Amino acid sequence: MGLFRKRGIRNKPKELVSQTTLENAFNRRTFVIGGGMGGIGAILAARMGYIAIAENERWVLESESNRVNLSLIPPRRGWILDRNGAPLASNRADFRVDVIPDRMENPERTLDALADILDLPDTTIADISKRIDEARGFQPIEVATGLDYDEFAAISVRLPDLPGVVPQRGFSRFYPTGPSVGHLLGYVGPASAEEYEERPDPILITPGYKIGKDSLEQQFEEELQGKPGARRVEVTASGRIVRDLETREDTQGKPVRLTIDGPLQDYAARRIGLESGSCVVMDCETGDVLCMSSMPSFDPNSFSAGIGRVEYAMLREDERVPLRNKVLKGLYPPGSTVKPMHCMAFLDAGVKPEETIICGGGRRIGNRFFNCWSNHGSVDMAKAIYQSCDSYFYHFAQQVGFEKVAEWAHKMGLGEEFDLPVTSQFYGTVPEPSWKQRKYDQAWQPFDTVNASIGQGYYLVNPLQLAVMASRLATGYKVVPHLRMDDPRPEFEHFDFSAEEIDYVRKAMSDVVNGPGTAGRARLPIEGIQMAGKTGTAQVVSLSISDGKTGPWKYRDHGLFVFFAPFDKPKYAGAVVIEHGGGSGSAYPIARDVMTYLFDPAKGLEALRALETQWGGTAQQRLDAKYRAYAAANGASVPPIPTRDDDIFDKVEAEARLAARQAEQLGDSVTPRREDNEATSQISRAPPSAQTPDRQAATATDVPEAGE
C-alpha cells in the first residue's frame, strides 16, 4: 500500500523528504490511526454484543446465582429412643456461632473479638485457630454453641465488624444421660475436610450441620440425618443478607428406636462407679439388649463441637481408657464364668451330673499335678459350678477333649461376632488344638487344656459374648442379641438339652448366689426373685509380678460375673466385667444392684445414692469435676488433638490389642489360679464358707455382707 511505497522511496535518498511528503505521510498515517481506532471500536461493539446478546443467558444465570444465595438449613437430626420411647439422644434449640475461614478478613482479630464477647478460654481459642488453619473451602468452624440470648445479641450487633462470623439459631444434639450413652451412641460433629472431599455436598459445609462420628450415631447416619431445608436470600458480595426470598422447612430425620432401656443403661453406667468396666443386660426371651454400659466414658454432649484439646488429653492419658467401648472392644479371659457352659459340653459328651471326682487341692493330668484354688474333696457337677472347683474341669475337659468344649463355646456365643449395627466388635479367641497349631505352629499340650478348661490361657471374650452365653445357658435357646426395637425377632433355635439338664445347671448357678457358692453377697434383696450366676477372676499377669489384688492397678485381676434372673424362669441375663477389679468381688455387687434396679427401681436407686455420695456425685458430675481439675492443672500445656476423627479412637484400639497380647502370653504357661474372694496365699483346706470376702477392705465400695 501507500505506506510501503513511501518506505521504498525514502529508503535510498533522504533528500526526498519534503514538506509535501510529510504532509502526505501525515494524512495516510492519520487515516491508519483513525482506521485502527474504528477497528478497535468495532471489536468492542462486537465483543459487547457477543457477551450481552449471544451469551446473555449464561451471564443472567450467573448474576442470579450471585444475587440469590441458597442457604441450607441443617435438618434436625432424628432422635434415638430407648425401648419405651424415651430419648437417649434428642435435639436442643440453641444459639450458636460459627466462622467461615474463607470469608474472614483477619481471623486472629475476629477470633479475639469473639473470645472477648464469649469469654472463651485460651485452649479453646487454640483449638479453633487450629481448625481454621486446616479448614478447606467454605467449611464452617464452630466457635460456640448453647449461647444465651445476650451473647447472641452482642455478636449479632457487631456483625459488620466481624466478616465471616455466622451467628444463628439452630439445634444441637443433646444426650440427656451424657457419659452413660457415650460409647453406645457415639457422638456427632461437623464433617471433616476429608469427608467433604469425598462427598462434596454443600450441606456438609453448612454451619450447624453435624454427622454421626462413632457407634450408633454413625451407623444410623442415613436414617437420622433428615432432609435439609433451604432459604433463598438476596445477599451482597460480602455475604450480608438484604432480604428473604423464600424458605423451605427442613425435614427431621427419622427416629431410631433401640431395645436399650434408657434408665437401666444410665443406672448401670453410674453403678460401675469408680471402676473401669462394663455391664451388659439382655432380655433372654427376645434377645433384646437392654443395657450396654461401659465406663469410664466421655460426655458426647461436649464432643459435638469437636473434641477440645483439654478434654482429649484428659481422656487419652487416663489408663482406664474412657475412649474405648469395653462392651464390644474390651477382651478379657473369661475365667470361671465359662464353667457352666463347659458343663453343658460335658453333658453333651455323655458325662453324667452325678459323676464325681476327688479334688485333692488339685489334680494330676497326664504326668503333672495342677493345683486347684482349694481342696474340695468329692466334687460332682453342681458342686464344681457353685464351688468353682478347678480339678473337676481339668479332669473332664481332658476326658472329653477340648475340641468338644470349644465347639460348645462357639455354640454359646464365645468367639462369635454378632449381627449388630455397631461400628466394630472384637470377637476374641476360643482356643483349641487346631487354632493353636495355626496361630503358633505348636502342638496342643495337656496344660493348654488345663488352662482353657477354667477360662484362662488363650481364652479371650468380650462382655457382650458373656451376656449372650448367660442368656443361652439360662434358656437353652440360641438367643441372638438384638439392638433395634423395630426389627423382627427371629425364632431361636433350641439346644438339644433336656429340661432336667438345663434345670440342673440353673440350680447349680443359683447355688453360686443363693446356696453355698462363691457369690453369696450377690443375692437379690427382693422377695421371691432369685438370681443365678457364676463368678470369674481373670489374671492379667503371672503371680510372680503381682498377687492380683493389691499393687499397681494395671496388674490386678479382672473381676467377672455372668448372671440371669429369675433363676427358675429366666427373663434377664447379663454380664459384668470390671477391669483390674481385683477379683469377681468387684463385679457381682454391680450385677446385683443392676438386677435389683430392674425389678425394683426404688431399692436399686437407694443403693446407688449411698454409693454416689461416697464417690463424689454421679458419673456426669465426676467427669465434669475431673475435667475442671485437669484443665486447671494442665490448661496451658495440652497438645492438640489428632486431625482425623479415626485417629482419636485408633490409638485406643491399639492399646486394646496390646492388652489382648499380654493376656495371650499368659496362656503360654501354667499358673496357679486364685478364686474369688480368696487371698492368693490362702490356697488352703479351709472350707470356702469360712472365707470372708477381703475385697471390701481393698475398695470400700461394697456394702459389707456375710461371706458365702
Partner 1 sequence: MSGIVPDPVARQPWQMLFPLFALIMFGALVLTSAAAGDFDAYARSHLLRFAILFVMAVVISRFSKEFVSFFTYPAYLVILLLLMAVEIVGQVGGGSQRWLEVGPIRIQPSELMKPAVVVALANYYGSLPVGMIPSWRALMPAAGIILAPMAFVLLQPDLGTSLAIAFGGGVVMFLAGLPLRWFVFAGIAGVASLPLAFFFALQPYQQDRVTTFLDPESDPLGEGYQITQSKIAIGSGGIFGKGFNEGSQSHLRYLPEPHTDFVFATMAEEWGFVGGLFVLGAFAMILRWGLSVARNANDRFSKLLAAGMTATIFFYVAINLLMVMGFAPVVGIPLPFISHGGSSMMTNMICIGVLMMVYRWNQKAPRTGLIT
**Residues engaged in binding partner 1 (CB under 8 A):** 3-4, 6-7, 10, 14-15, 17-19, 21-22, 25-27, 29-30, 33-34, 37-38, 40-41, 43-45, 47-49, 51-53, 55-56, 58-60, 62-63, 66-67, 234-238, 242
Cβ proximity to partner 1: between 53 and 690 the closer is 53
Helix H, strand E, coil C: the string for 159-205 is HHHCCCEEEEEEEEEECCCHHHHHHHHCCEECCCHHHHHHCCCHHHH
- In angstroms, how far is the first alpha carbon of the chain from the final one? 123
**CB of residue 422 to partner 1, shortest distance in Å:** 44
Q: Least CB distance from residue 206 to partner 1, whole Å? A: 20
Distances (CA, A) of 550 to 252, 641, 679, 697: 53, 34, 10, 11
Positive or negative CA dihedral for 48, 50, 54, 55? Answer: negative
d(CA 567, CA 534): 12
**CB-nearer residue toward partner 1: 11 or 681:** 11
Give whichever of 237 and 700 is closer to partner 1, judged by the CB atom: 237
Nearer to partner 1, 3 or 625 (CB): 3
DSSP assigned state of 54? I
Report in angstroms the alpha-carbon separations of 665 from 24, 51, 184, 403, 537: 107, 77, 31, 21, 17
Whose Cβ is closer to partner 1: residue 66's or residue 498's? 66
Nearest to 185 by CA among 263, 321, 293, 309: 293
Q: Assess whether 336 carries a catalytic annotation.
A: yes
Helices (H), 618-672: 619-634, 645-666
Work out how close the CB of 35 gets to partner 1 at its nearest, in angstroms, rounded to a whole number.
Answer: 10
Please compute, for residue 614, the number of CA atoms within 13 A of its CA located in the half-sphere on the CB side.
Answer: 13
How far is the C-alpha of 261 from the C-alpha of 282, rounded, in Å?
10
How far is 443 from 452, CA to CA, in rounded Å? 15
- Shortest distance, CB of residue 69 to partner 1, whole angstroms? 10
Minimum separation from the CB atom of position 121 to partner 1 (A) = 34
Asked whether the bond before 566 is cis by omega within 30 degrees of 0, the reply is: yes
Nearest approach in angstroms of CB 64 to partner 1 is 8
Shorter beta-carbon distance to partner 1: residue 58 or 628 = 58
Q: What are phi and psi of 64, to 5 degrees?
A: -65, -45
Q: How far is the CB of 157 from partner 1 (least distance, A)?
A: 21
Q: Are 151 and 119 in contact (CB under 8 A)?
A: no
Taking the C-alpha atoms of residue 292 and residue 279, their distance in angstroms, rounded to an integer, is: 6
Cβ closest to partner 1, residue 146 vs residue 239: 239
Q: Which of 306, 273, 336, 369 is nearest to 590 (CA)?
A: 273
Strands of 334-425, DSSP E: 357-359, 362-365, 368-371, 377-379
Of the pair 28, 603, the CB lying nearest partner 1 is at 28
Contact of 706 with 690, CB cutoff 8 Å: no
Q: Are 577 and 558 in contact (CB under 8 A)?
A: yes
Closest contact distance (angstroms) between CB of 58 and partner 1 is: 7
Out of 172, 278, 293, 336, the active site residue is 336
Residues tagged active-site: 336
